[in-house]
Structure 1
Amino acid sequence: MKRYTCLTILFAMLFAVACKQKGSDAVGNETPNLPDTTEVKAIPAEQLISPGESIGHIKLEGSADSVMQLLGRPDTGDAAMGSQLATWYADHDTAGYQTSIFSRRDMGGKDEPVSRIKKILVTSPWFKTGEYISTGNNIKDIGKYYTLKEGNGYKRNGRSIKIYTDMAKGISFEIDENGKCVSILVHKPNSAADTYLNMH
């Protein structure tokens, strides 16, 4: 009798555990854990590429001096006729990720002393658009969000690079021969003068 009671209790415990596992699986199949899309979409301001406006804390029409205060002295630069190109490399290594700005003074204007940023370029995938587009993405992915027009090309380290621009939004993508984005540039929308400035 004692043995029968023990077996009954053991059977009841096993049945309860089995039912609990089955119920847990059923709930899991009906309501899978989905990621919080609002959290995924929230890109910090310092990483955000805003077409026609800014990359991170660097803003179009901001002063070049403010960027130098932020990033320090540029690793390379060139200046002529009121225009200036400044480039910073990660860890000051020319093989590292690149951030460049092209700025220009309004010669003869009341704002002449200030060199205003007209174009910004980055190569680091750390920077992303609101659609999570960054360097490393392919042109097909980029084309889902931007109306691209093929522009000029150039050679970099023996590779052919083509430039694709969404003029209305104020953003360009430099694409290598494998269709991969290697640089992203932000410029004023619908401004051919700023769009086609050479940053290399």
Structure 2
Amino acid sequence: MKTSILRIALGLCILAACAPPATQKAAEEDNAAHTPPEALLVAGESAGKFHLGQDMDSVFSLLGKPDDGDAAMGKAWGIWHGQDTLAVYSTYADSTMSRRTARQIVVSGEGYRTENGLGSNTPLETIRESYPALQPAATYVSDPGGDTLWVYDAEASGIAFDFRKKDGQLLCTAVTIHPADEPVAATYLTIHAGWKKLP
């Protein structure tokens, strides 16, 4: 009897050892399950507590003065660095030029995820499963350095992803939430400072 129990236990241990490791998809779903609402990315709508159309005074009250940015012709980028970097592209809300509203929100870092776990370090192939209409939108090279950054946009959904190559595959480095049916590149100022856009 003892021998039978030992054989069964040994067999279970061998089966457990031979079981395949968790897949990338399972890891992404686990990340999604643990993403708090304040870090949830919603295509065409919001990044956590920040949403498209939000008054910039509200953004400043939550984040304080930007750490970096750029402004020209009534458009501006505000960039806040921290555990996760957040950037907000804003324009005047209307012709009165009395207030600015958020037009794009860019996040990088491990904290922000979509409801199905997409975000920083997610491979291009995995993102395509959720956004089959994802298309190349722009390619940049670092100057100097020669590193390459690819931007892919799911324009109709209102979400875009930056990628850089690591260990032979393209991995996400940033996510942009933008208005649905509006190209991610439809900004007067680029967020990719220090990068040269290829024609």
Superposition CA RMSD, Å: 2.9
Counterpart among 169, 174, 181 of residue 183 in structure 1: 174
Q: How many residues align?
A: 168
Name the counterpart of 2:95.
Answer: 108
1:70 and 2:46 correspond = no
How many percent of aligned residue pairs carry the same amino acid? 25
Return the offset for 1:43. Answer: 3.0
TM-score when normalising by structure 2: 0.73
The structure in which a higher percent of residues are helix is: 1
Gaps of 5+ in 2: 13-25, 193-199
Return the offset for 1:39. Answer: 10
Return the offset for 1:98. Answer: 2.0
Highest relative contact order (Cα 8 Å, sep 6+), 1 or 2? Answer: 2
Flag the structure with larger Rg. Answer: 1
| 3-state DSSP of counterpart to 1:70 | helix
**Any idea what the Cα deviations from partners look like across 1:87-122, whole Å, max 9, x if unmatched?**
01117xxxxx4210000003524xx31101000111
**Any idea what the Cα deviations from partners look like across 1:154-178, whole Å, max 9, x if unmatched?**
1247320011010111000011134
**Maintained 8 Å contact 2:155/2:180:** yes
| 3-state DSSP of counterpart to 1:142 | helix
| 3-state DSSP of counterpart to 1:190 | coil
**Any idea what the Cα deviations from partners look like across 1:16-71, whole Å, max 9, x if unmatched?**
xx6xx79xx7xx9xxxxxx9x89963632111000100111111000112111111
1:126 and 2:117 correspond = no
CA distance in structure 1 between the partners assigned to 2:130 and 2:66 by the alignment:
33
Q: Return the letter of the residue paired with 1:186.
A: I
Q: Return the letter of the residue paired with 1:73.
A: K
| 3-state DSSP of counterpart to 1:183 | strand
Q: 1:160 to 1:69 in 2, by over 3 A?
A: same
CA distance in structure 1 between the partners assigned to 2:152 and 2:171 by the alignment:
12
Q: 1:39 to 1:87 in 2, by over 3 A?
A: closer
Matches for 1:45-64 after TM superposition, within 5 Å: 45-64=37-56
CA distance in structure 1 between the partners assigned to 2:163 and 2:108 by the alignment:
11
**Maintained 8 Å contact 1:78/1:85:** yes
| 3-state DSSP of counterpart to 1:74 | coil
Counterpart among 56, 61, 79 of residue 87 in structure 1: 79
1:199 and 2:191 correspond = yes
| 3-state DSSP of counterpart to 1:46 | helix
Q: 1:85 to 1:42 in 2, by over 3 A?
A: same
